[in-house]
Amino acid sequence: MKSSLFLTRRSLLKSLGAGGLVSAGSSIFAPYISRAADRPGIPHGLQSGDVSSDGAMIWARTDISARMHVEVSTVESFNSILKGISVDALPESDFTAKVLMDGLPADQDIFYRVRFQNHNEPALFSAPALGRFRTPPGVKKSVSFVWSGDTAGQGWGIDESRGGMRCYETMRRNRPDFFIHSGDTVYADGAVLPEQKMPDGGVWKNVTIEEKLKAAETLAEFRAAFKYNLMDRNVLAFNAEVPGFYQWDDHEVTDNWWPGQPLTNNDHRAKKYTQANMMTLAARASRVFHEFLPVRPNAYEPGCIYRRLSYGPSLDLFFIDMRSYRAPNGDNSQTAYGTAAHLLGPEQLAWLKRELKASQATWKIIASDMPIGLYVADDWRENSGSEAVAQNDNGAPLGRELEIAETLSFMKREKIFNTVWLTADVHYTAAHYYNPDKAAFQDFEPFWEFVSGPLHAGTFGPNPLDGTFGPELRFIKAPSKDQGVNLPPSFDLQFFGHVAIDGNTEVMTVTLKDWNDVALWSVQIEPKMV
């Protein structure tokens, strides 16, 4: 529910079930009334996200049926209110609520304030919670952001004695304009047990909750995966200051899933799923993903994750979804494009080409939940084929590679320059330069792909590079053979990437970092002007 009534504080308190509002210059917040047992809480902090030229999403969750009141201002004191919006938080959405705050001025620090009003006792309000974000510039100006993926995976949860999810605090200290989470925002399919043995003989001691002791199947269990991450103090502080742009990969549902997949393999049996196939799990996971993250709703496809957002004249962001529309995993060896070779699917592929062609931004970031040139096996133990794009055969495009080849050829043909691919998924960090002179398929302009992560999960790798699109490995940091795999966060192999675009030259600087904020490798990329 969303409306725009002008109310005074007194009328707001007197009006049982009063609607939302847009106010200028005066606050909607009622005097703080202390009845702790009946006042709503805000147990999981605030989030802003999908910040673009036309506004931003603001999210929060309470613990009873209540109305969320949001106000925004350009001053931290809130002496002058730009506008306010209200929306109801109901049991059907697990008391989550989010609003699109549009019509905001460009290139401004925006402070926002949230309180919840008890539906049953409207005189009772939560304590206020405060957050901030910055709106995109209206002219060319320096922009910076961070990206990574993979949060709370492989059983490595919140160990308070080790500082919790420290990578989020390191990213916050970089003061980015925004953050891209490249997928595996949660590990709904992974249990977080009280203790986990470490390769060095130590014991990792997790904060845990009952719903995270097994793989998620019910709505409550999927919701618990998000609530768990929002128990970490680093994540809460980060979310209040840095707006997020989110996409999903597999672990929001279960490992390496595809639509309609029967839940019959060894991994599914080990997780003791009671569902017959993936459809129910994916539907519940999608609903919860949109409930708990500040992702913009899509009118024509409510569960849609792919979208384009503009962050000023220098930067457009294209979020793609390599999971929801794919054909079944398998040998991925089709020689002609068709249903069995789908990865993005025809509608999303057409959208991506259309939106890339329409973009006037200098730089075009394609945020991908999986890498293009790294071979990712569906199941290494069963030799069951490709889970991602690459075939590991160094030859002409096959299977899912056909969609990537079509996209790259289209960009060359339409003179769409300055595309950079950002991704995560493989749990190490790397820089790949795609060189058509070294490729089996050569009908494309050179481009960069940067891999980062995990944020807070087990570290793996490296994966083999496939030569179809000619990737050159310019940098890598992954576990050594002596270290093994699934290394805990305390082994200092947690990674994120930092991107800075200079407002004058529009040169893009990409720096790969670890969670200690050590710059591991960096490159400056000159924009190609038409």
- Whether residue 421 contacts residue 368, with contact meaning beta carbons closer than 8 Å, is answered with yes
Show Cβ contacts of residue 244 under 8 Å, excluding neighbours closer than 6 positions: 47, 48, 49, 178, 179, 180, 181, 293, 294
Find, among 280, 361, 370, 354, the residue nearest to 321 by Cα.
370
In DSSP terms, which residues pair with 431 in a beta bridge? 450, 475
Question: Is 3 inside any structural domain?
Answer: no
Say yes or no: 123 and 172 in one domain.
Answer: no
In DSSP terms, which residues pair with 388 in a beta bridge? none
Find, among 129, 134, 1, 160, the residue nearest to 65 by Cα.
1
pLDDT < 70: residue spans in the chain: 1-36, 380-384
In DSSP terms, which residues pair with 59 in a beta bridge? 47, 98
Say yes or no: 86 and 211 in one domain.
Answer: no
The amino acid at residue 249 is D
Say yes or no: 397 and 521 in one domain.
Answer: yes
Residues in the chain: 530
Say yes or no: 52 and 193 in one domain.
Answer: no
- Whether residue 465 contacts residue 375, with contact meaning beta carbons closer than 8 Å, is answered with yes
Say yes or no: 197 and 334 in one domain.
Answer: yes
pLDDT recorded at residue 386 = 87
Question: Is 495 inside any structural domain?
Answer: yes
Q: Which residue has the tokens 């399919």?
A: 189
- Whether residue 303 contacts residue 248, with contact meaning beta carbons closer than 8 Å, is answered with no
Question: Is 390 inside any structural domain?
Answer: yes
**CA 66 to CA 116: how far, in whole Å?**
6
Say yes or no: 203 and 274 in one domain.
Answer: yes
pLDDT recorded at residue 17 = 32
**CA 187 to CA 453: how far, in whole Å?**
14
Say yes or no: 107 and 151 in one domain.
Answer: no
Cα distances (angstroms) measured from residue 10 to each of 67, 81, 113, 122: 16, 18, 19, 11
Write the pLDDT tens digit of every residue in 148-199.
Answer: 999 999 999 999 999 999 999 999 999 999 999 999 999 999 999 999 999 9
- Whether residue 433 contacts residue 472, with contact meaning beta carbons closer than 8 Å, is answered with yes
**CA 495 to CA 289: how far, in whole Å?**
23
* CATH number, domain containing residue 129: 2.60.40.380
Phi, psi of 120 (to 5 degrees): -85, -25
**CA 346 to CA 325: how far, in whole Å?**
9
* CATH number, domain containing residue 478: 3.60.21.70
Per DSSP, the three-state class of 55 is strand
Write the pLDDT tens digit of every residue in 231-285.
Answer: 999 999 999 999 999 999 999 999 999 999 999 998 999 999 998 889 999 999 9
Show Cβ contacts of residue 210 under 8 Å, excluding neighbours closer than 6 positions: none
- Whether residue 211 contacts residue 224, with contact meaning beta carbons closer than 8 Å, is answered with yes
**CA 251 to CA 186: how far, in whole Å?**
6
**CA 351 to CA 180: how far, in whole Å?**
20
In DSSP terms, which residues pair with 116 in a beta bridge? 68
In DSSP terms, which residues pair with 363 in a beta bridge? 315
Question: Is 530 inside any structural domain?
Answer: no
- The DSSP result for 91-159, as a single string, is GGGTTEEEEEEESPPTT-EEEEEEEEEESSSTT-BPPPEEEEEEPPPSSS--EEEEEE--BS-TT--B-
- Whether residue 278 contacts residue 256, with contact meaning beta carbons closer than 8 Å, is answered with no
**CA 61 to CA 98: how far, in whole Å?**
9
SS3 content of the chain, % helix, strand, coil (to 5): 20, 25, 55
Question: Is 1 inside any structural domain?
Answer: no
**CA 20 to CA 9: how far, in whole Å?**
13
Q: Which residue has the tokens 């901030």?
A: 132
Q: Residue 154 region, left (φ>0) first, then alpha (ψ -120 to 50), else beta?
A: left
Question: By CB neighbour count within 10 A (0-12 exposed, 13-18 middle, 19+ buried), where does 423 fall?
Answer: buried
Domain end position, chosen among 82, 103, 134: 134
Say yes or no: 270 and 407 in one domain.
Answer: yes
Question: Is 369 inside any structural domain?
Answer: yes
Say yes or no: 349 and 414 in one domain.
Answer: yes
Pairing of strands 178-181, 143-148: parallel
Helix axis angle, 401-413 to 346-358, nearest 10°: 20
Say yes or no: 47 and 179 in one domain.
Answer: no
Show Cβ contacts of residue 27 under 8 Å, excluding neighbours closer than 6 positions: 9, 71, 78, 81, 84
Sign of the CA dihedral 287, 460, 520, 315?
negative
Say yes or no: 108 and 154 in one domain.
Answer: no
* pTM (predicted TM-score): 0.93
- Whether residue 383 contacts residue 375, with contact meaning beta carbons closer than 8 Å, is answered with no
Sign of the CA dihedral 326, 327, 333, 336?
negative
**CA 390 to CA 162: how far, in whole Å?**
37
Question: Is 202 inside any structural domain?
Answer: yes
The amino acid at residue 69 is H
pLDDT recorded at residue 530 = 72
pLDDT recorded at residue 35 = 64
Domain end position, chosen among 102, 134, 166: 134
Which two three-digit tokens encode residue 11?
């009328």
Say yes or no: 75 and 201 in one domain.
Answer: no
Domain end position, chosen among 101, 134, 167: 134
Q: How many domains does the chain have?
A: 2
Question: Domain range for residue 104?
Answer: 9-134
Which two three-digit tokens encode residue 290?
């949109």
pLDDT recorded at residue 383 = 63
Helix (H) or strand (E) holding 351: helix 346-358
